[in-house]
A and B are shown apart, each in its own frame.
Chain A
Amino acid sequence: MTVQLDARPPVVPAPQRSSGRLSRLDTQLSPYLYIAPFFLLFAVFGVYPLAYTFWVSLHDWDLLGADHPFVGAENYTRLLADADFWHALVNTLGIFVISTVPQLLAALWMANLLNRGLRARTGWRMAVLVPNVTSTAAVAIVFGVIFGREFGMINWLLDLVGLDAIGWKSNRFASWVAISAMVDWRWTGYNALILLAAMQAIPRDLYEAAAIDGANRVRQFWSVTVPLLKPTIIFCAIIATIGGLQLFTEPRLFHSGTNPIRGGPMRESQTLTMYMFENAFAPHYNFGYGSAVAWLLFALIAIVAAVNVLLLRRLGGDRRQKGAAR
């Protein structure tokens, strides 16, 4: 059907006279050397901090203190009994769900629009990425002002239509919505472009065949596009999971004033990363406890990512034959 573009490894004629051992060593080792930089960097900036954080989490580690006594799993047991931790967890998952689900659906819809014959297509495609290029800090500050209690634009609009002002920063659910709006504004276009790239790899003739079979556009979308996009959707979902559960800048900058790291006086929108910061740094400076939060967050991301994959595997699972037909 399509041309097989994957190049097979070129067959290198074995050099006849040069030292066979050296060249064998070369063919065996050089691939590892080529990929080594990534693993070296990953070891330095990924594995080492992870291991060190775990080490720290087993200690009573005052950030400024001279000695750090070993306490074993005490930080973890305390953390699991810590109501504020669970509160932050619920906030994080809440914001994650109400931001990620609409975001991926909107991205899918947007990608589908961009995939059609639009005028000035490249321009539109660039345009959806613009919010992503803006600095998170700027976005958060602007949205923080828009959602202000007294001087904010949204409450001003609500007032115009005769509705009561909403305490966007002091109402738990409202603050989730405001932060999700920020996240969606920033990341929808990014995901749309990734999905668009995948959509363009879908062979046209599948749509032609579907059209001949009498499938309309909507049917084509759900029966051809979505199943074939499955790996990409899973990819986007995992990236969104990692980003969503690590959400920090938006909710942190959404709140200004004294102790913004709490996400409001009653921790209305404090995410896990903010809770980690609150404990590891100001005002508690308890590095061990903060590290324990970091590790539980790591575990949580792994779990949610796995659940995501399992759920999305089911998405259009019965159309596997069609996918295989490619």
Chain B
Amino acid sequence: MAVFPRRRHAAVALAAAAALLVTAGCGGGNEPGDGKITLTVDVFGQFGYEQLYQDYMAANPDVKIVERGTGTNLDEYSPKLTQWLAAGRGAGDVVAIEEGLLVEYKANPANFVNLLDHGAADLKGNFLEWKWNAGLTADGKQLIGLGTDVGGIAICYRKDLFEKAGLPTERDAVSKLWPTWPDYITTGERFTAAKTGASFLDGATNTFNTILLQTAGNTTGYSYYDTSGNLVVDSNPSVRQAWDTTMDIIDSGLSGKYGSWSEEWVSAFKQSKFATIACPAWMTGVIEANAGTAAQGKWDIARVPGNGGNWGGSHLAVPKQSKHQAEAIELAKFLTSAKGQIGAFKAKGPLPSSPQALDDPAITGATNAYFSGAPVGAIFGTGAKSLKPVYMGPKNQAVRTEVENAVRTVELGQRSPAQGWTDAVSNAKKAAAK
């Protein structure tokens, strides 16, 4: 029995250690000792901030920056962020918010620092007007987030697969293949007929989103919700038109049916299983991350069928729960400055929302080595300043999910296009009511 007291000591020591760990964990960003403030930045996908952090830390030796969530897809990121905000702890000091979710977060502005109280008003000229306005609450009194990037759409394609299929590979010639979406389908049919072992495009949902946001931007200016917040899935001609075009693409057997962001999608990138992908500016970083260095120089970028468009783009916000609000606001201002946006664009491709940055030679003259030296600045930047934003309604994310899922069921052959449309409309209405 002599062992017993010693065991008890061990248990006490363990418990004490555990308690210490817990308190240390709750201590938040302050590391005792080096006197530095740790700022946590929460992102998803590829924001391209790594070098900017280094620059910022060099200029501000008392700040240490930790980034979380690179490569995470938005569907994993947004519930986490919402939980942190609801719980009142856990969120980073600077958090990225995607445009589709911004409306939901703006409905509860108390979760965020009002950047207008911290001198942000002076920065207004640094952002495209609509991008700035998107960060404001409905009454215009609170600025939730500073704009990072905007969409800008192109089509990224594999030169090697195009060559195999006997199609032109040079980017201007490829752009000429598809002035419109029906031409894109015709090209796809030529590609498919050549039997390269690859599909013409990755999956229908990405393309559907692109067509929808393009059509909506060029016509009504809204997609699933009109600007007064009514659900218009079944009455907005833009939605129906995007749906019908997507159904034609599926019907022509062009889709590889890889669900976007799934593991199979990533594998398909690696094994060059598809030749084209709808390509908002931020997608170039995703392609590079997924396809890897082996595919360097095999990709190129052509213009999108139809007439420009905007998909995606985010804002940086500072949650009220941050313990270092002042420092976090400074960091957010730095990352969204023209210099910051240029740095991010060079690293991972998100297109700046700052007119100064868009005019900067660093952008207008930018090329991307991974994409065969494509002049990405010119391709994405041209027309970026005249982009017409698409209004996102209160439950945009939930509704979009339903419609995308309906597209997916048709693509997988589980539903006919007519049944799929019925599902899309009824499920979207149900989701909007939740």
Q: Which residues of A contact B8 (CB under 8 A)?
A: none
**Of B40-48, B78-86, B188-196, B245-253, the one with at least 4 CB within 8 A of chain A:** B78-86
The CA-CA distance from A258 to B265 in the complex, in Å, is 11
The CA-CA distance from A148 to B85 in the complex, in Å, is 35
The CA-CA distance from A64 to B105 in the complex, in Å, is 8
Report yes or no: B398 in contact with A283, Cβ–Cβ below 8 A: yes
Report yes or no: B263 in contact with A148, Cβ–Cβ below 8 A: yes
- Closest B residue, CB atoms, query A289: B434
Partner of A285, one of B104, B110, B401, B414: B104
**Of A21-29, A91-99, A207-215, A259-267, the one with at least 4 CB within 8 A of chain B:** A259-267
Q: Which residues of A contact B260 (CB under 8 A)?
A: 257-258
Q: Is B397 an interface residue, CB under 8 A from the partner?
A: yes
User: SS class of chain B's interface: helix, strand, loop or mixed?
Assistant: helix
Report yes or no: A282 in contact with B79, Cβ–Cβ below 8 A: yes
Q: Which residues of B contact A149 (CB under 8 A)?
A: 257, 264
**Of B116-124, B169-177, B404-412, the one with at least 4 CB within 8 A of chain A:** B404-412
Report yes or no: A66 in contact with B110, Cβ–Cβ below 8 A: yes
Q: Which residues of B contact A63 (CB under 8 A)?
A: 82-83, 86
Residues 260-291 of A at the B interface (beta carbon under 8 Å): 260-262, 265-266, 277, 279, 281-287, 289
Partner of A281, one of B79, B108, B395, B412: B79
- Closest B residue, CB atoms, query A283: B398
Known: A64-B105, A150-B264, A151-B264. A283 touches B414 (CB 8 A): no
Report yes or no: B262 in contact with A256, Cβ–Cβ below 8 A: yes
Q: Is A144 an interface residue, CB under 8 A from the partner?
A: yes
The CA-CA distance from A198 to B415 in the complex, in Å, is 51
Report yes or no: B259 in contact with A258, Cβ–Cβ below 8 A: yes
Q: Smallest CB–CB gap between A270 and chain B, Å?
A: 11
- Closest A residue, CB atoms, query B256: A150
Q: Is B227 an interface residue, CB under 8 A from the partner?
A: no
Q: Which residues of A contact B257 (CB under 8 A)?
A: 149
User: SS class of chain A's interface: helix, strand, loop or mixed?
Assistant: loop
The CA-CA distance from A326 to B361 in the complex, in Å, is 90
Q: Which residues of B contact A259 (CB under 8 A)?
A: 75, 401, 404-405
Report yes or no: B262 in contact with A64, Cβ–Cβ below 8 A: no
The CA-CA distance from A258 to B73 in the complex, in Å, is 8
Report yes or no: A167 in contact with B111, Cβ–Cβ below 8 A: no
Q: Is B130 an interface residue, CB under 8 A from the partner?
A: no
Report yes or no: A257 in contact with B259, Cβ–Cβ below 8 A: yes
Q: Smallest CB–CB gap between A314 and chain B, Å?
A: 41
For B258-283 the 0/1 string (1 means CB < 8 A from A) is 11111111011001010000000000
Interface size on B, residues (CB 8 A): 42
The CA-CA distance from A259 to B431 in the complex, in Å, is 14
Residues 195-239 of A at the B interface (beta carbon under 8 Å): none
Q: Smallest CB–CB gap between B242 and chain A, Å?
A: 17
Q: Smallest CB–CB gap between A142 and chain B, Å?
A: 11
The CA-CA distance from A202 to B105 in the complex, in Å, is 62
Q: Which residues of A contact B397 (CB under 8 A)?
A: 282-283
Q: Which residues of A contact B265 (CB under 8 A)?
A: 257
Q: Is A106 an interface residue, CB under 8 A from the partner?
A: no
Known: A64-B111, A266-B409, A289-B434. A281 touches B75 (CB 8 A): no
Partner of B414, one of A170, A258, A262: A170
Q: Is B18 an interface residue, CB under 8 A from the partner?
A: no
- Closest A residue, CB atoms, query B397: A283
The CA-CA distance from A64 to B104 in the complex, in Å, is 9
Q: Is A145 an interface residue, CB under 8 A from the partner?
A: yes
Q: Is B353 an interface residue, CB under 8 A from the partner?
A: no
Report yes or no: A167 in contact with B412, Cβ–Cβ below 8 A: yes
The CA-CA distance from A279 to B130 in the complex, in Å, is 32
How big is the A interface, by class?
20 to 34
Known: A66-B108, A144-B263, A279-B434. A285 touches B82 (CB 8 A): yes
For A160-187 the 0/1 string (1 means CB < 8 A from B) is 0000000100100000000000000000
Q: Smallest CB–CB gap between B409 and chain A, Å?
A: 5
Q: Which residues of A contact B271 (CB under 8 A)?
A: 151
- Closest A residue, CB atoms, query B405: A265
The CA-CA distance from A138 to B85 in the complex, in Å, is 29
Q: Smallest CB–CB gap between B174 and chain A, Å?
A: 26
The CA-CA distance from A281 to B398 in the complex, in Å, is 11
The CA-CA distance from A282 to B79 in the complex, in Å, is 5
Q: Which residues of B contact A266 (CB under 8 A)?
A: 405, 409, 414-415
For A119-148 the 0/1 string (1 means CB < 8 A from B) is 000000000000000000000010011001
Partner of B82, one of A141, A145, A281: A281
Q: Which residues of A contact B21 (CB under 8 A)?
A: none
Report yes or no: B86 in contact with A64, Cβ–Cβ below 8 A: yes
Identify which of B78, B107, B268, B405 gathers the most chain A CB atoms within 10 Å of its CB: B405
- Closest B residue, CB atoms, query A268: B414
Q: Which residues of B contact A66 (CB under 8 A)?
A: 108, 110
Q: Which residues of A contact B79 (CB under 8 A)?
A: 277, 281-282
Q: Is B205 an interface residue, CB under 8 A from the partner?
A: yes
Q: Which residues of A contact B408 (CB under 8 A)?
A: 265
Q: Smallest CB–CB gap between A40 and chain B, Å?
A: 15
The CA-CA distance from A146 to B207 in the complex, in Å, is 28
The CA-CA distance from A138 to B434 in the complex, in Å, is 33
Binding site for A on B (CB under 8 A): 73, 75, 78-79, 82-83, 85-86, 104-105, 107-108, 110-111, 205, 257-265, 267-268, 271, 273, 395, 397-398, 401, 404-406, 408-409, 412, 414-415, 431, 434
Give me 6 other A-B pairs in contact (C-beta within 8 A), A62-B108, A150-B264, A259-B404 excluded: A64-B105, A150-B273, A255-B262, A258-B259, A266-B415, A282-B78
Sorted from nearest, which 7 A-B pairs have the closest CB atoms?
A257-B262, A282-B79, A257-B259, A265-B408, A283-B398, A281-B79, A64-B108
List 24 A–B pairs whose Cβ atoms lie within 8 Å, in order of A's numbering: A63-B82, A64-B111, A148-B263, A149-B257, A149-B264, A150-B258, A150-B268, A150-B273, A151-B267, A170-B414, A255-B262, A256-B259, A256-B264, A257-B260, A257-B263, A259-B405, A262-B401, A265-B405, A279-B434, A282-B75, A283-B401, A283-B431, A284-B431, A289-B434
